[in-house]
Amino acid sequence: MSSDMIQGMTQGRPREVIRTESVTKTYNVGKPNEAFAVRSVSVSILENDFAVLKGPSGSGKTTLLSLIGCMARPTSGSITVEGKDVSHLPERFLTNIRRRIFGFIFQQFNLIQGMTVLQNVLIPLLPTDSNPADGLKKAEAILEDLDMLKRRDFPVNSLSGGEQQRVAIARALINDPAIILADEPTAHLDTALAADFMKIMHHLRDQGRTVVIASHDPVVFEDSRISQVVSMRDGRSLGIQRNV
Ligand SMILES: Nc1ncnc2c1ncn2[C@@H]1O[C@H](COP(=O)(O)OP(=O)(O)OP(=O)(O)O)[C@@H](O)[C@H]1O
Ligand SMILES: [Mg+2]
């Protein structure tokens, strides 16, 4: 723990959990297809924030989300996660941070077809040495909370889109992450299901978690309870709006 973090805690200020400092990501550096996906973006995400990265297609939302979630490394600039500069950490450390701190909800859900709901939710525990009985209890409690326990033994390919997403959310929660990251989570949902998704995210935030979503859907970025909107265009942050 850094002295900044101790100071923040003792003064009752929310702790900063993510900080990007002039972060840049360029794909195919020096090649004809060079792409400046993220250009010098600085954001600060506080504990229990509900932040949305918004912008048109190609504006760099997914890339910035991947950088925040330690799935990609910056070309320049720095990224700090829970007070630790992760910009130059070797891959095995990044894997460990990803597993310990983040829960990812991917646009395509990335479920393993042919496996059941429960099996999919338990997947992130495979590389850990957690007790299988504890893992099972936890998975069932999370599924219950998402009203999906009734589907426990269903193959995921037999579920509706909204249900598949709940499995993806449950899987993201199995390691009890402090920070939830979601990329275009409402892209395959109708308006009612998108509103349900937002309700679930607010519920997770009420549990004390931090939520960061990349989205160009107004249902997400016009939600009145989100705390921060980062507007992206052509890889740059055009502005940051803080609601609380
Ligand atoms: N792996 C990659 N290799 C090369 N270029 C990439 C790669 N990923 C993204 N890009 C480019 O970087 C830019 C930003 O892409 P990114 O996917 O981050 O945008 P986005 O805002 O998430 O878009 P969308 O709304 O379509 O999901 C785009 O021009 C894209 O073509
Ligand atoms: Mg994207």
Three-class secondary structure of residue 86 per DSSP? coil
Global confidence as pTM: 0.93
Residue closest via CA to ligand 1's atom 16 equals: 60
In terms of C-beta density within 10 A (0-12 exposed, 13-18 middle, 19 or more buried), how is residue 171 classed? buried
Residues 64 and 41: their CA atoms lie apart, in Å, by 8
Residues whose beta carbon lies within 6 Å of some atom of ligand 1: 27-28, 35, 37, 55, 57-63, 216
Give me the pLDDT at residue 152, please.
97
- In a mutational test of the pocket of ligand 1, which residue from 52, 63, 221 has the highest number of ligand atoms less than 8 Å from its CB? 63
Q: What's the pLDDT band for 9 if we cut at 50, 70, 90?
A: low
Instruction: Look at the chain and report how many structural domains it folds into.
Output: 1
In terms of phi and psi (left: phi > 0; alpha: psi -120 to 50; beta: otherwise), the region of 110 is left
In terms of C-beta density within 10 A (0-12 exposed, 13-18 middle, 19 or more buried), how is residue 35 classed? middle
β-bridge pairing 102-105 and 84-85? unpaired
State yes or no: pLDDT of 10 exceeds 70: no
CATH code (residue 105): 3.40.50.300
Residues of the domain holding 83? 3-242
